Structure 1
Amino acid sequence: MAGIEDVARLAGVSTATVSRALSGKDVVSEKARQKVEEAARELGYIASHSAYTLATGRNRNIGVVMPYVDRWFFSSALEAIESTLIEHGYDLTLYNMSGGAEQRKKIFTDFLLRKRVDAVITLAVHPDEEELAQLDKMKKPIIAIGGQVHGARSLSMNDHDAGKLATEHLLSLGHTRVANISGAVKTDREFNQADKRREGYLEAMHEAGLETRKNWLVEADYTAQGAYKVAKQMLGDPKNSPTAIFANSDEMGFGAMMAAKDLGLRVPEDISVIGIDNHDMAELFGLTTIDQNVRAQGAEAARLLISVLSDPTLDSHVNVEEDVEWPVSLLIRSSTARPAVGAR
């Protein structure tokens, strides 16, 4: 059975270089890494995980915590995180909090504190002070995707500004009767994204000197089905229906568009719709959206965490407050247009 010395001899490098190359460390040149990987494949050599753990105290395994696994945002971000981690020689352990408060407690006070993970990424999950203190005590860095965390690294878009940009796009087209389908509080309690996006909408309407009627401010559960129900009621009102809808997510935008169709309304001739995300189905629906490039967010969070783990001085600042604001952009498609004459 081939050993590390055999790989080093065939690749023409030192055993230390073999160890660094196969562990995914960036200090090895790409040329050397390729030579080592080719030699290892030729000899059938597989690096010993237990030996690596014993020598470094690390497992090359990252824990990822999220509230759902069956929704587009989370599955897309997870796909990118996993791909990036594999590229750098890391494994991933997924923790799903769909079981509620008791399951969350077990994850943060037991599973994440075991030696099986080196660090943690959370998606739309805000660790509280106690949870963060436990991770800090165990020398496990964390990065949160979805909002800022006091005392920890985070990467997130500015939800307020995204909501305002979406609304301003509709206003720039000449719409004055603009509604907002926001996320229900119970489905979005970690970072208050729903409130922040609605605040951006309200600010844009206020700055334009426009009213916001009560029946234009509705909530759904971030699904197309949920938005379909509330949008159909709103658009079916013969006296107070809007000419444009800002939905807090693309999936809710899809629901609003389907509700309009069922009522015999044309998009965008009779009703304009804009969402947030740039969902994989958004182009098919022709949905104008605020693109937050979800997969790139996941990949960047993984790279940032790998960089943190590579810092030789990490023990002195395991978790520090460093917020990276993720850029977004307006992506205009066919679901938004100027309102019909006399329908503003």
Structure 2
Amino acid sequence: MAHGIDEVARVAGVSTATVSRALRGLPNVSDSTRERVRSVATQLGYVASPSAASLASGRTMTIGLLTPWVKHWFFANVIEGAERALQSEGFGALLYTFEISRNAPRRRVDPDVLRRRVDGILVVGLPLDPAEVAALVGLGHPMIFVGSGVEGQLTVRLDDLVTGRTATEHLIDLGHRRIGHISGAPDDVTPFSPPAARRRGWLEAMGAAGLSVEPTLEVHGHFDLDGGRDSMRQLLAQRPDVTAVFAASDEMAMGAILAVRELGLRVPQDVSVIGIDGHDLGELVGLTTMAHPAVEEGAAAAALLLTMIAGTSAPADLVYQTRLVRRSSTGPPREGVAHA
């Protein structure tokens, strides 16, 4: 029969608070006392409940996780990595979604739903305005952004500028000179926005190669497959001379490939396509991509947040590099190609 914390405290000769601190690995407990408490707890079959541990430490053992979606590849993988890291340390996640729609304004973040319910906050790919950021900072909890960031807040992110430039340079090196770009939403232009930095990388690579960029070479795919398909149709309608496309996400890139094929064209003979992410399904369609470890990024963000909750000062931004994965969706342009 398992005994309670009171019995463990009585046998070990300490208070119940000391038992809780010792079993949670918290400070202000000597090594000898900690070992004695653990030994007694094992003998009596006592397992501390999460609620009791939370009360003893003054923590909720919960992280607030704010994100637009859980169904898209990047968000799902970051959240999976974060949850794994949190669970390994006895923490849970309180998930709030704020869907970004092209047809309606996003629901605003209300900090009151997190008050006294979380010990820290992870913001995954959710662009926030200054008032929302200030409201979250006002809660007094450590906070980390993943993907989209804001000035003055720790962000775990990709080197999006270099990624966009490298993706475009891959197409240029293959011989392409009319390269379109599928970005996210037209109003997502803040300096700390991944699509804005990826677009700058595209522009830099085109400029360095002496290639002109007209407004008709850029369309917006809203970071989903349907958006990638619709925007690719729009791009080829207004610029039938395009021979290659750099999409700012793999899901948009896969939508673009569908559109090219639906129009009776071939990938890559008529149009080459490259994306960003390393989506699990990319290999099925032969998608060339700039891959990155999203699960690892989520786990790293959660681990950093836990160290900040424990009192460690915030480090500098954690920046991940991407790697070019060459597959069959990119190749040299056909001589004299022009798409009707």
Task: Provide TM-score, normalisation by structure 1.
Answer: 0.81
Partners of 1:162 and 1:280 lie apart in 2 by 19
1:103 shift after superposition: 4.4
Aligned to 2:322: 328
Q: Distance between the aligned counterparts of 2:79 and 2:254, measured in 1?
A: 23
Q: In 2 relative to 1, CA 299–98 (structure 1 residues): closer, same or farther, beyond 3 Å? A: same
Aligned partner of 1:2 in structure 2 is 3
Partner of 2:95: 94
Question: Does structure 1 retain, via aligned residues, the 8 Å contact 2:99–2:106?
Answer: no
CA distance in 1, matches of 2:198, 2:288: 16
Q: Deviations over 1:201-226 (max 9, x none)?
A: 01100110012243321112111111
Gaps of 5+ in 2: none
| Cα deviations by residue, 1:79-116 (Å, 9 ceiling, x for unpaired) | 1111110011111101112398784342x2x022x221
1: CA distance, partners of 2:196 / 2:126: 16
TM-fit CA distance, 1:128: 4.9
CA distance in structure 2 between the partners assigned to 1:86 and 1:16 by the alignment? 23
Mapped pair 1:309 → 2:309:
yes
Contact 1:148/1:323, CA 8 A, preserved across alignment: no
User: Aligned ranges for residues 61-210 of structure 1 at < 5 Å?
Assistant: 61-98=62-99, 103-106=107-110, 108=111, 110-112=112-114, 114-186=115-187, 191-210=192-211
- The 1:247–1:7 alpha-carbon spacing in structure 2 relative to 1, beyond 3 Å, is farther
| Structure 1, 182-191 or 269-278: larger mean CA deviation | 182-191
**Cα pair 1:249 1:277 within 8 Å, conserved:** yes
Identity across matched positions, percent: 41
| 1:199 Cα deviation from its structure 2 partner | 1.4
Residue matched to 2:257: 257
Is the deviation greater in 189-198 or in 274-283? 189-198
1:181–1:129 distance in 2 versus 1, CA, 3 Å: closer
Q: Distance in 1 between matches of 2:152 and 2:218?
A: 34
Quick one: which amino acid aligns to residue 53 of structure 1?
S
The alpha-carbon deviation at position 336 of structure 1 amounts to 0.9
Letter in 2 for 1:259: A
5 Å matches for 1:225-244?
225-236=226-237, 240-244=240-244
1:261-312 deviation per Cα after TM superposition (whole angstroms, max 9, x unaligned): 112222112211100111111111111111122111111101111121223x
* Alignment size in residue pairs: 327
Instruction: Name the CA shift for 1:183/1:130 in 2 (closer, same or farther; >3 Å).
Output: closer
| SS of equivalent to 1:322 | coil
| Two-structure CA RMSD over aligned residues (Å) | 3.6
C-alpha change, 1:178 and 1:63, in structure 2 (3 Å) is same
Whether the aligned pair in 2 keeps the contact of 1:125 and 1:191 (CA below 8 Å) is no
TM-score for both structures, normalised by structure 2 = 0.82
Distance change in 2, residues 1:85/1:297 (3 Å): same
Deviation for aligned residue 1:187: 6.7
- The aligned counterpart of 1:295 is 295
For structure 1, list consecutive stretches of 5 or more residues without a partner in the other structure. Answer: none
